[in-house]
Amino acid sequence: MSEPQKPSPNEKSYILDLHKAVLEQQSVESPSDSGNGHDTQQLFQEEKPNKTTGLEFASFNYINSILGSGVIGIPYALKQAGFGFGLLLLGFIALVTDYSLILMVRSAHISSSFSYQGLMQAAFGNPGFYLLTFLQFTYPFIAMVSYNVVVGDTVTKVLIRIFNLKPWSLLARRDFVVFLATVFITIPLCLFRDMAKLARASLISLFFVVFILVAIIIRLFTFSHRVTPFHGINSWQAFNWGIIPAIGIMAFAFMCHHNVFLLYSSIEAADQTRWDKVTHYSVFTSFIVSVLFGVTGYATFNSFVQGDLLENYCWDDDLMNAARIAFSATILLTYPIECMVTRAVIDQIVNIADSSVRHYAVTLTIISITYILSVATDCLGVVLELNGVLSAVPLAFILPAASYLKLEEGSVFCKRKLPAFGLALFGITVAVVGLFHIVIRFSSDDRCSHGRIMPYCIQNTTFPF
């Protein structure tokens, strides 16, 4: 079968499918109606094109969606897999991620279904639709909860440090801090109806990521000498056996598949060629940033590296406190992208006429529930690991490959489909072994520790800028 061509006018109406669910939703296809032979023009009336953006600003959204909070965990992933092997593994994960993102849009051109749900519907019918709907809602929803938890833990401690707050102060309460962030940052951004409007917010978020990277590079040269005396022998390891946890962390860091068709529909004159170009650029840029975070963080702390790299730095280090604030800002600016995905999923499965009231009601309900869950607990370790294994891995590796294998003509073992078959096999292996690994470690008691004072922070030291 030849390479997918530029979409025809009929296909272009499908390209607007998911984005119309976010924007104007004049007539959204419900699960019971999908795949029953309705003509595209019966589903959508002619209307003005949705707001789009060029490749540069689309890349900002793309890179911001990939980097998110996962980049802070890359040094820990290198510790789990070993520094040398971990870097090779990181490159491999970036490569298969790039391939799977391109594969999704290629499959969409084959099936003329330009939404992840529509793609699974075309490949596997209603079971595929509902499975994907569940996963595509669960992953970003739990991610939003985790973002609030990080903001509550991090910003609260920084405020206590800066203003020397007493325990009874409102700003010393994580629930109040998360509430302020929700009201003044996440709600206004989440109320936007299309992702193109978030491009500038994503650009700001990327500047924050650069600032964090610069801060940890500075501390590599000004702080690592304090950590070195506490290292044991063989603290630098080229290979380690924590390969599966490392893959899970890296997959989480590169996960943006639930955003694919929102990103695709936000690109001006989107087609396969332009999508491939923006995907290669965005994934490669994200890979370089991840390598820099991983190498710098591991070189500074190696055997002491924690899942959240910023937890390794002392709380009287004001440069890193500024980095913590920047990191919190980054994930708060990523939060709206995840919210748009969850809202789009709800819009697709709830057959209710669009209105401003519904838009506000659905958005505020999502934000309110994530807020309640995030202030009710600060221990999401097991949940996030399960989310990574049971949601991120299927969304990123298994389902894109499986849908392509089903939709593309030819044998599963033909030359054209072998890479997709290998991707599916890789995803299934990681999911099964990862789930087994979580069950084995379920009784671990170190996943809920926060703010642990590291031994090298006990000494009184003034930090240079």
Question: What is the per-residue pLDDT across 225-244, written as a single tens digit (0 to 9) for each?
Answer: 888 887 766 678 899 988 98
381 in any annotated domain: yes
64 in any annotated domain: yes
458 in any annotated domain: no
Per-residue pLDDT band for 348 (boundaries 50, 70, 90) equals confident
Quick check: 364 pLDDT over 70?
A: yes
Amino acid at 282: S
Query: Residue 337 is part of a domain; what is its CATH number?
Result: 1.20.1740.10
Domain count, the chain: 1
33 in any annotated domain: no
* Angle of CA points 257, 253, 416, to nearest 5°: 45
d(CA 34, CA 138): 22
3 in any annotated domain: no
Least confident of 57-71, 86-100, 104-118, 323-337: 57-71
* Domain membership of residue 396 as a residue range: 9-17+50-445
Specify whether the CB–CB gap between 319 and 219 falls below 8 A: yes
53 DSSP β-pair partners: 267
Q: Compute the Cα dihedral for 450, 455, 460, 464 and give only its sign.
A: negative
Q: What is the pLDDT of residues 240-267, one digit of tens each?
A: 988 988 888 898 889 899 889 989 988 9
Q: Compute the Cα dihedral for 305, 294, 206, 378 and give only its sign.
A: negative
**pTM score of the predicted model:** 0.80
Residue with tokens 């590796």: 397
Q: What is the pLDDT of residues 121-147, one digit of tens each?
A: 999 999 999 999 899 899 889 889 888
